[in-house]
Structure 1
Amino acid sequence: MTLSHTLRAHRGFLLFLLGFALLRTAVADWNPIPSASMRPTLLEGDVVLVNRLAYDLKLPLTDVVLLPLGEPARGDIVTFGSPVDGTRLIKRLVGLPGDRIALRDGVLLLNGQPQAQTGAHTRGETLAPGWVVDAVRSTETLSGRPHAVQRLTGLAVARDLAEFTVPAGHYFMLGDNRDLSADSRVIGPVPREKLIGRAHRVLVSADWLGEDGPWLAPRWRRWLSAVR
């Protein structure tokens, strides 16, 4: 059978693969969570659904914006390409263009106003087998949208950031696990064209660290849950 005959015989399947690829690169995608930087909101082993049309319609497989569709908002959980090396990251958007961002002892200051952290409680957080530190979890509210944040009091880390003004066309990202996240404090503000999409739901989740049970135990309670 010639190549042309093979292509004609399987064109339905090939069109399906092409459509699926276009769907994932331009419309919707999923993003596995590999690290603890977004704890307690997102856990290692979560797979989140990402809306690639939340902000821009892009030429598939590129950062070329064909049509702006929506404006990023404070509090969004965003996937984006690192402006340093292109690695795909997922963080919370805390600063819009023109915002003044600072941290004082782990508390976010937005345009000079501290963002209160309420309902603080402490629990143990396992960083590695046999290494447990105290984690202080609380609720922070950005533009009327509450979300969980976490500080690891057992780690000696810098919790202050001098005031920084977000440049035009850029966004400032922070991990919810404030003491264990390589975010805009490390990689700098993120240009609009590097934004991939907004995460809005955990599709599936499995405990591959052994936190809630045997290796790869499904976390059924997190399946199809909304993220905020």
Structure 2
Amino acid sequence: MDFDFSAILLALTVLFGVVWGLDRLFLYKKRKAHFEEAGEEYRDPAAVDWARSLFPVIFVVLLLRSFVAEPFRIPSGSMMPTLDVGDFILVNKFAYGLRLPAFNNKFVSLGEPKRGDVVVFRFPGFLCQDDSGKIVRSGDVTCADPNASIPGQNWIKRIVGLPGDTIEVRDSQIFINGKPVVDTLIGPFKGNPARPEDNELLYYNASIWSEQLGSVNHLIARMPSRGPTPPIPNNRVPSVVPPNCYIVMGDDRENSEDSRWWGCLPEQNLVGKAFMIWFSWKGWGTGGVDFHRIGSVIH
């Protein structure tokens, strides 16, 4: 089952608010008068007392998570070496506009994503063709069931293509509007063989490159020997990025299930822009707390 913390916070805020509000409107005065007549010290019923105490706390947390910043944990290595498994990051929730909590509908626009931004988004699903020939989004990667429900998961990738761009990807080489993205070899990947995510990069002799996407210079990992990745354009991704859509890719180029597999990212699925690592845990016996990464700005 997918865990939607924003939806739970919203539901609790509404529940506690309704309980407290209805009590104050219809029951509070009569109950207080009863206590005064009996000469007893006034006290709220347990349910009302809990609602009154917790409502402002949960409401403030909901506002902060929905409109200011939200924490996320990196669960996979698809964004290595920029983001490592066990990194805890903060995501700017107002970078691209204000959205309703849980529903994610934008009601105030504050900016647009830029090439090179690292973004968190709701996974849109795989592009499949249903029985009528219509292209739909499905939760089934094989498209055997085009009506499969899409898991409510938050993913993180880097924006490569903007609406209107002409994109071409050949293995790990990206061409934007006919020009190759500039990248420079730094050297072989060096990691801890005891960590599964590091061991895979070491096994396939990964190399680390510096890549320039717009104004953003960042690191990527390449593992050509791991196997080919889908090119762009393909049957899911046209050469020209559609309006209100973005091409996103992971920085671990051969180990990232991204737009090359499931198409462009709809603008409505954006959650926010990742901007800082606030904690990093590499596991017991394989590094523990990585103090060097704490406080790092995400580029």
Q: TM-score, normalised by structure 1?
A: 0.89
Alignment of 1:154-193 (within 5 A): 154-158=225-229, 160-162=231-233, 164-193=239-268
Q: TM-score, normalised by structure 2?
A: 0.69
Picking from 127, 141, 148, the partner of 2:212 is: 141
Aligned partners of 2:86, 2:221: CA distance in 1, in Å?
18
Which residue does 2:64 correspond to in 1? 23
**Larger deviation: 216-225 or 117-126?**
117-126
The one-letter amino acid paired with 1:123 is F
Aligned partners of 1:221, 1:197: CA distance in 2, in Å?
25
| Contact 1:106–1:159 (8 Å) recurs in 2 | no
The one-letter amino acid paired with 1:40 is P
The count of aligned residue pairs is 224
The one-letter amino acid paired with 1:111 is N
Aligned partners of 1:92, 1:32: CA distance in 2, in Å?
16
Which residue does 2:292 correspond to in 1? 221
| Contact 2:89–2:275 (8 Å) recurs in 1 | yes
| Contact 2:78–2:252 (8 Å) recurs in 1 | yes
Which consecutive segments of 4 or more residues in structure 1 shift more than 3 A? Answer: 1-6, 124-131
Aligned partners of 1:77, 1:152: CA distance in 2, in Å?
21
C-alpha displacement at 1:11, in angstroms?
A: 2.3
Which SS does the other structure have where 2:229 is aligned? coil
Deviations 1:168-208, CA, capped at 9 Å, x for gaps: 01111000001000111112111111000000000100002
Greater length-normalized contact order (CA 8 Å, ≥ 6 residues apart): 1
Of Structure 1 and Structure 2, the greater helix share is in: 2
Residues 216 and 140 of structure 1, relative CA distance in 2, 3 Å threshold: closer
Picking from 154, 161, 181, the partner of 1:95 is: 161
* Structure 2 residue 194 is the aligned partner of structure 1 residue 153: no
Unaligned runs of 5+ in 2: 1-41, 126-149
Which SS does the other structure have where 1:7 is aligned? helix
**Larger deviation: 114-123 or 183-192?**
114-123
Aligned partners of 1:82, 1:164: CA distance in 2, in Å?
21
Which residue does 1:39 correspond to in 2? 80
The alignment-based identity, stated in percent, is 33
The one-letter amino acid paired with 2:265 is V
C-alpha displacement at 1:216, in angstroms?
A: 6.7
C-alpha displacement at 1:10, in angstroms?
A: 6.1
Which SS does the other structure have where 2:124 is aligned? coil
Bigger-Rg structure (1/2) = 2
| Contact 1:82–1:187 (8 Å) recurs in 2 | no
The one-letter amino acid paired with 2:298 is V
Aligned partners of 2:49, 2:184: CA distance in 1, in Å?
62
Aligned partners of 1:161, 1:90: CA distance in 2, in Å?
20
| Contact 1:136–1:153 (8 Å) recurs in 2 | no
* Structure 2 residue 113 is the aligned partner of structure 1 residue 69: no
The one-letter amino acid paired with 1:53 is F
Unaligned runs of 5+ in 1: none
Aligned partners of 2:105, 2:50: CA distance in 1, in Å?
35
The one-letter amino acid paired with 2:73 is P
